[in-house]
């Protein structure tokens, strides 16, 4: 039986955007063998008998984008109750649409941080087996929260050191790649106060201990400064939101090199959409000041040198799965240069997830997740939407 060997790909680009060195190199060829970038060199004259040649000499290339805060359902226009009434087949169908949407936008890796059950874990496995198309997924399954805590309706309630240890181990057994914990109140649960911390440092530290022992990272939902400080003291790997974070919280994140995932676009949508929020049952007591305070918090974080990793909270009420570029624009408005804003969704995001050795930048030896753009995103971040082609693991999946 004749065996077919795939030719290496020779990808010619007009401009390579290096998010590590913060440079743009013109006239570059990427040589990709199977999934991996094996060489980066000036454009030459490749032999078409030896290479499959792609000519993007009038285009720009950036790394595949990474969204670190996603929920693999769509509550943009439906309540959680309406979602829960869907059958498993319907939920999988909707998830498939979402995953297709991500690839269309050049998002080749996502981290799901809270699911009503383990649908995200199951879908991750289906993608790995080639049964579904979509970005790579780092899946959390359901989050952990205190009894009656924020997001309790789609989380696992556990109180005390022994209980959180047991539930963390159960999540690891079920196939979670990351542990999500709710460390404060929020705005999606009735009577929840986003400024009030939930979980003690001891409980959080136990979750971190169990996760780290299994080689997993911990992402902690924290709106107010006390919750942020608790998360830092417990040794979490990333803090999600940081809406009401004060100076002490920002300094603690920076000092301990803990990533902040802002999700600015989600809180902005909630603050702007009071009427629709009411229809979906969202707690509105803190909504009017939400976005304004959040912007101040992120500006403060940037000022103190906190490393941001891009996340949108897509799938939560009022926020769709097509808003990553809006999130990056907000970082830019808060003080990050375009290249640094782009880094939040590439190399920073990859490092936050612990996959920076393989993803997040265009370098020899890394996975060939690439996005070919018609325009230079460093001149206007909106150019990220001007997609010409997308490669995932060396295979062109969009053109």
Tell me the three-class secondary structure of 235-257, residue by residue: CCCEEEEEEECCHHHHHHHHHCC
Q: What pLDDT does 289 receive?
A: 77
Q: What is the mean pLDDT of residues 234-238?
A: 98
pLDDT of residue 194: 87
Percent with pLDDT over 90 in the chain? 82
Has residue 110 got a pLDDT over 60? Answer: yes
Task: Note the pLDDT of residue 329.
Answer: 98
Q: pLDDT tens digits, residue range 2-14?
A: 556 689 999 999 9
Work out the pLDDT band at 101, boundaries 50, 70, 90.
very high
- Average pLDDT on 331-360 reads 98
Per the prediction, the chain carries an average pLDDT of 93
Strand partners, 245: none
pLDDT at 280: 60
Mean pLDDT value of segment 218-247? 97
Two tokens at 61? 């290339």
Starting from the edge strand earliest in sequence, which strands make up the sheet with 370-373, in order? 36-42, 23-33, 9-18, 52-63, 370-373, 387-392, 395-398
More confident residue, 116 or 21: 21
Residue 49: per-residue pLDDT: 94
With bands split at pLDDT 50, 70 and 90, how would you rate the model's confidence at 386?
Answer: very high
Question: How many CB atoms are located within 10 Å of the residue 352 CB?
Answer: 27
pLDDT of residue 82: 79
pLDDT of residue 38 exceeding 60:
yes
Indicate if the pLDDT at residue 272 is higher than 80: no
Name which of 60-69, 264-273, 317-326 the model is least confident about.
264-273
CA gap 389, 371 in Å, rounded: 6
Res 284 pLDDT > 60: no
Q: Is the pLDDT of residue 373 over 70?
A: yes
The residue-averaged pLDDT of 47-51 equals: 95
> At the top level of CATH, which class does the domain 9-63+361-398 belong to?
mainly beta
pLDDT tens, residue by residue, 140-173: 999 999 999 998 888 999 999 999 999 999 999 9
- At residue 231 the predicted structure's pLDDT band, cuts being 50, 70 and 90, is very high
DSSP three-state, residue 58:
strand
> Is residue 285 over pLDDT 70?
no
Q: Where are the alpha helices (DSSP H) in 156-200?
A: 161-174
Distance between CA atoms of residues 56 and 388, nearest Å: 9
**Rounded mean pLDDT of 302-314?**
97
Report the candidate in 133, 135, 203, 192 with the shortest Cα–Cα distance to residue 163: 203
pLDDT at 28: 98
Interstrand relation of 178-182 and 259-261 (parallel, antiparallel or unpaired): unpaired
Across the beta sheet with 217-224, the strand order is 155-157, 143-145, 178-182, 217-224, 238-244, 259-261
Please, which pLDDT band fits residue 274 given cuts at 50, 70 and 90? low
Q: Tell me, what DSSP letter sits at residue 2?
A: P
Alpha-carbon distance of 97 to 79, in angstroms, equals 18
Domain boundaries, given as residue ranges, for the chain: 9-63+361-398, 65-353
Closest CA to 110 of 377, 363, 345: 345
Does residue 292 sit in helix, strand or coil?
helix
pLDDT tens-digit profile of 201-223? 999 999 999 999 999 999 999 99
The topology (CATH level 3) of 65-353 is TIM Barrel (3.20.20)
Residue 283 has pLDDT above 60, yes or no: no
Residue 363 has pLDDT above 90, yes or no: yes
């Amino acid at each position: 039986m004749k065996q077919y060997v795939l030719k290496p790909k020779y990808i010619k680009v007009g401009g390579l955007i290096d998010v590590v060195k913060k440079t743009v190199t013109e006239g570059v060829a990427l040589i990709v063998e199977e999934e991996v970038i094996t060489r980066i060199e000036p454009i030459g004259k490749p032999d078409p008998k030896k290479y499959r040649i792609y000519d993007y000499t009038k285009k720009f290339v950036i790394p595949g984008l990474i969204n670190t805060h996603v929920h693999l359902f769509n509550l943009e226009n439906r309540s959680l109750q309406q979602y829960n009434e869907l059958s498993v087949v319907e939920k999988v169908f909707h998830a498939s649409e979402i995953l297709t949407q991500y690839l269309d936008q050049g998002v080749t890796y996502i981290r799901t941080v809270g699911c009503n059950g383990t649908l995200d874990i199951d879908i991750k496995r289906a993608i790995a087996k080639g049964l579904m198309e979509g970005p790579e997924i780092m899946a959390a399954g359901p989050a952990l929260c205190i009894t009656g805590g924020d997001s309790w309706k789609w989380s696992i309630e556990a109180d005390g050191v022994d209980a959180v240890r047991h539930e963390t181990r159960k999540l690891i057994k079920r196939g979670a790649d990351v542990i999500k914990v709710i460390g404060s109140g929020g705005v999606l649960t009735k009577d929840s106060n986003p400024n009030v911390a939930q979980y003690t440092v001891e409980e959080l530290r136990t979750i971190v201990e169990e996760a780290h022992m299994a080689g997993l990272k911990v992402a902690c939902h924290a709106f107010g400064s006390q919750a942020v400080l608790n998360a830092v003291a417990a040794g979490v790997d990333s803090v999600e939101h940081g809406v009401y974070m004060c100076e002490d919280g920002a300094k603690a994140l920076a000092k301990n090199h803990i990533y902040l995932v802002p999700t600015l676009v989600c809180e902005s949508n909630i603050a702007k959409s009071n009427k629709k929020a009411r229809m979906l049952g969202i707690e509105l007591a803190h909504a009017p000041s939400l976005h304004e305070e959040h912007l101040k918090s992120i500006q403060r974080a940037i000022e103190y040198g906190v490393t941001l990793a891009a996340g949108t909270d897509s799938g939560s009420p009022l926020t769709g799965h097509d808003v990553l570029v809006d999130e990056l624009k907000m970082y830019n408005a808060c003080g990050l240069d375009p290249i640094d804003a782009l880094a939040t969704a590439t190399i920073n995001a990859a490092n936050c997830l612990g996959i920076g050795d393989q993803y997040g930048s265009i370098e020899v030896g890394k996975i060939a997740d690439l996005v070919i753009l018609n325009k230079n995103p460093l001149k206007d971040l909106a150019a990220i939407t001007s997609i010409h082609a997308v490669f995932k693991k060396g295979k062109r999946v969009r053109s």
